[in-house]
Amino acid sequence: MKAMKPDWLSDPKVWRTEVLAGLVVALALIPEAISFSIIAGVDPAIGLFASFTMAVVISVVGGRRAMISAATGAVALVIAPLNRDHGLGHLIAAVILAGVFQVVLGALGVAKLMRFIPRSVMVGFVNSLAVLIFMTQIPEMRNVPWAVYPLIVGGLALMVFFPRITTAVPAPLVSIVILTAITVGAAIAVPTVGDRGELPSSLPVPGLPDVPFTLDTLTTIAPYAFAMALVGLMESLMTAKLVDDITDTRSDKTRESVGQGIANIVTGFFGGMGGCAMIGQTMINVKVSGARTRLSTFLAGVFLMVLCVVFGPVVSHIPMAALVAIMVMVSFATFDWHSVTPRTLKRMPAGEIAVMVITVGCVVATHNLAVGVVVGSVTAMVIFAKRVAHFASVTAVTDPDGTTVVYRVTGELFFASSNDLVGQFDYAGDPGRVVVDLSAAHIWDASSVATLDAIEAKYAQRGKSVEITGLNGPSADLRSKLSGELAAGH
């Protein structure tokens, strides 16, 4: 049986789409990588090298096809203090260690935690991302020559209307070419890519970080490396899930987690600042350009270096207005407009809306997607726990002879619901024999076991016996392990 060829090898149309998508992403990556280098406090070449190695390596070892990984703002914010206080050598060492952490976390199954992120958090993540992408373009529209504004409008118009003529060439690429030709041909003085920093003139070479290999170095870089590993994995896995939904395909999240680690290790040895999945560039690749394979990711990295090393002088003339127009279009395409329509908001439970708003608010306030996801998920869990807690109920039936009372407990018993359970029994008025029927309930945690122990103790103080019946297998096992061991909590 012959191995199946990739789509881009057997279908010229797919090949053309992937190649052009990779070129568009590479052009958009250059100013972004330079900007993130400035945030991290390093030379622009450090960010560009990171984007090159991250994209090329993840295209091979990653678990999500067509997703773009490169130097990112989130990673830059995490490692900037380390570079400021200890220098570039420690930063590079932290990138390598962060990659090791990601490989270990991926192998341990950290990707499985994605199932605990609710849909409302995911919607908030997408919407906050769109807002952040738009907000990062605002500085590019302040204190600039008046010609920038018609160029941005023209770029947006091209991306809206050009696809109606043909989709053979990505509209963002057309926009970049036309706006560059106009500004160069008419000698219009506007900010360009070259104004953001000098592009590298040679390829990166591998080497070891310039740090002493001591325990002191390890303790210095470890906290930054671990924070970078967590932020990078969270952004990458959330982005992978978003691409899964857009393309209606599944990705291997564990492979992606390990792949991010490998890509960061390689990036560190090549002197890059590290990175993770880039939501904005991924949306350009997948949603705007229509890419679906690893080829576009690989070529984005390759084209990035070719453009810098070979065509640096030409690329330097690209007006920032063209790239701003692309990112503004990406932000509008990324935002889930359906989630904020009056019809949707009327039907959505108040708790779901609150979680979405909190997620967006945290991300916009901190400029950190990981913070928003964590706070949103915790808020959703609290709301869920509060909602489920009300489902536990107790009904009492006394035997005709008055010697026995049966309490039937229904629902899920955990810390939020079991705390109210103690007060629903008539310890003084009940007869000498009490039966607690749990056949319609389930015990989930130690708090519930402690509550049952407390109920038995209160009846015992009054000389009454309690029989607990109907426990299912897992509930009985948990109670047998913990009952009588939790007295200190009463």
Closest among 50, 22, 54, 23 to 36, alpha carbons compared: 50
Return the pLDDT at 488.
46
Q: Residue 5: its pLDDT value, please?
A: 63
Residue 176 near residue 25 (C-beta atoms within 8 A): no
153 is written with which tokens?
Answer: 């409008």
Residue 74 has a CB neighbour count (10 Å cut-off) of 22
Q: Name, in order, each residue with C-beta under 8 angstroms of 2's C-beta and a sequence gap of 6 or more.
A: none
pLDDT for res 67: 96
For the entire predicted model, the pTM comes to: 0.73
The alpha carbon torsion through 69, 297, 317, 32 (nearest 10 deg) reads -10
Q: HEC states along the chain? A: CCCCCCHHHHCHHHHHHHHHHHHHHHHHHHHHHHHHHHHHCCCHHHHHHHHHHHHHHHHHHCCCCCCCEECCHHHHHHHHHHHHHHCHHHHHHHHHHHHHHHHHHHHCCHHHHHHHCCHHHHHHHHHHHHHHHHHHHHHHHCCCCCCHHHHHHHHHHHHHHHHHHCCCCCHHHHHHHHHHHHHHHCCCCCCEHHHHCCCCCCCCCCCCCCCCCCHHHHHHHHHHHHHHHHHHHHHHHHHHHHHHHHHCCCCCHHHHHHHHHHHHHHHHHCCCCCCEECHHHHHHHHHHCCCCCHHHHHHHHHHHHHHHHCCHHHHCCCEHHHHHHHHHHHHHHHCCHHHHCHHHHHHCCHHHHHHHHHHHHHHHHHCCHHHHHHHHHHHHHHHHHHHHHCCCEEEEEECCCCCEEEEEEEEEECHHHHCCCHHHCCCCCCCCEEEEEEEEEEECCHHHHHHHHHHHHHHHHCCCEEEEECCCHHHHHHHHHHCCCCHHHC
What pLDDT, on the 0 to 100 scale, is given for residue 1?
45
Sign of the alpha-carbon torsion through 91, 224, 197, 186 = positive
The whole-number pLDDT of residue 69 equals 96
Residue 3: predicted pLDDT: 54
CB 412 within 8 A of CB 388: yes
Read off the amino acid at residue 362.
C
Query: What is residue 490's predicted lDDT score, i.e. its pLDDT?
Result: 41
User: What is the residue-level pLDDT of the chain in tens, covering all 490 positions?
Assistant: 455 666 666 678 888 999 999 999 998 888 888 878 877 888 888 999 999 999 999 999 999 999 999 998 778 878 888 998 999 999 999 999 999 999 999 999 988 887 778 888 888 888 887 888 788 788 889 999 999 999 999 999 998 999 888 877 778 888 889 999 999 999 999 999 888 777 888 889 999 999 999 999 999 999 999 989 988 998 899 899 889 988 999 999 999 999 999 999 999 999 999 999 998 889 889 988 889 999 999 999 999 999 999 988 888 898 989 888 888 887 888 788 888 899 888 888 888 899 999 999 998 888 777 788 889 889 988 888 777 766 678 899 888 888 899 999 998 888 888 877 888 899 999 999 999 999 999 998 898 899 899 999 999 999 999 999 999 999 999 998 888 766 544 4
Position 434 scores a pLDDT of: 94
Are the C-beta atoms of residues 484 and 449 closer than 8 Å to each other?
no
Over the range 345-359, which residues count as b (16 or more CB within 10 Å of their CB) and which as e? eeeeeebbbbbbbbb
Which tokens in the block code for residue 458? 């209160």
